[in-house]
Amino acid sequence: MIMIEDIEKVLYTEEEIQKKVEELGRLITRDYERKNLFIINVLKGSVVFLSDLIRSITLPLSIDFMAISSYGPSTQSSGVVRLVKDLEENINDKNVLVVEDIVDTGLTLNYLLKSLKARGPKSIEVCTLLDKSIRRIVDVPLAYKGFDVPDVFVVGYGLDYDQRYRNLPFIGILRPEIFTRT
């Protein structure tokens, strides 16, 4: 099975993504100078973005991981959020930046931010590569965002459909018939 055959259209090429990630890295570098930057990454979709983003930030920083699950194999948000893995470090008094792959309904991020704010960080902001704002249910403040995506299901560059396609170097739209295939 060749993954590329399942892609209807490439939305953002590898080059476009790299350019955008560097831009975000520059903004973050500018804003967090002399602040202890603590990056929280939400597994698993955003690890690809994270690994590129941190290399575009020219400041000392640390990273920690969290896993929250709101999606099963389906492409619809269930609204049910489950904490699968918690942070290893304490974020009290730290300048936290949450790195996300995509904000869709906002339900996942809303839950996450609420739980993180209760732990007393000095500041907390969000950086997302993709913003599917048209689907938003709860308003979440996004300090940094890469691309505004249309209301389509996208895969690649960390984003999956049923755990697949994360390793595509670009972001593309999946052919609709893939969703109905078992």
Q: What is the set of active-site residues?
A: 104
CB 50 within 8 A of CB 144: no
> Which of ligand IMP, Mg ion, none does residue 153 bind to, with CB < 5 to 8 Å depending on kind?
ligand IMP
Among 38, 41, 45, 144, binds Mg ion (CB under 5 A): 45
Site for ligand IMP in 138-157 (CB under 6 A): 153-155
Strand order through the sheet with 144-148: 82-85, 61-69, 37-43, 95-103, 123-131, 144-148
| Residue 49 binds ligand IMP, judged by CB under 6 A | no
CB of 132 to ligand IMP, least distance (A): 6
For ligand IMP (CB under 6 A), the number of binding residues is 18
| Residue 6 binds ligand IMP, judged by CB under 6 A | no
Among 40, 102, 127, 178, binds ligand IMP (CB under 6 A): 102
Tokens of 81: 């959020």
The binding track of 46-85 with respect to Mg ion, each residue x by CB under 5 A or -, is -------------------------x--------------
Nearest to 167 by CA among 19, 27, 44, 53: 44
Nearest to 18 by CA among 174, 173, 129, 167: 129
CB of 65 to ligand IMP, least distance (A): 14
SS3 label, residue 55 = coil
Q: Which residues contact 84 (CB under 8 A, 6 or more apart)?
A: 43, 67, 68, 69
Tokens of 141: 């403040």
| Residue 18 binds ligand IMP, judged by CB under 6 A | no
Q: Is the peptide bond before 117 cis (omega within 30 degrees of 0)?
A: no
CB of 158 to ligand IMP, least distance (A): 9
| Residue 106 binds ligand IMP, judged by CB under 6 A | yes
Binding site for ligand IMP (CB under 6 A): 45, 70-71, 77, 101-109, 132, 153-155, 159
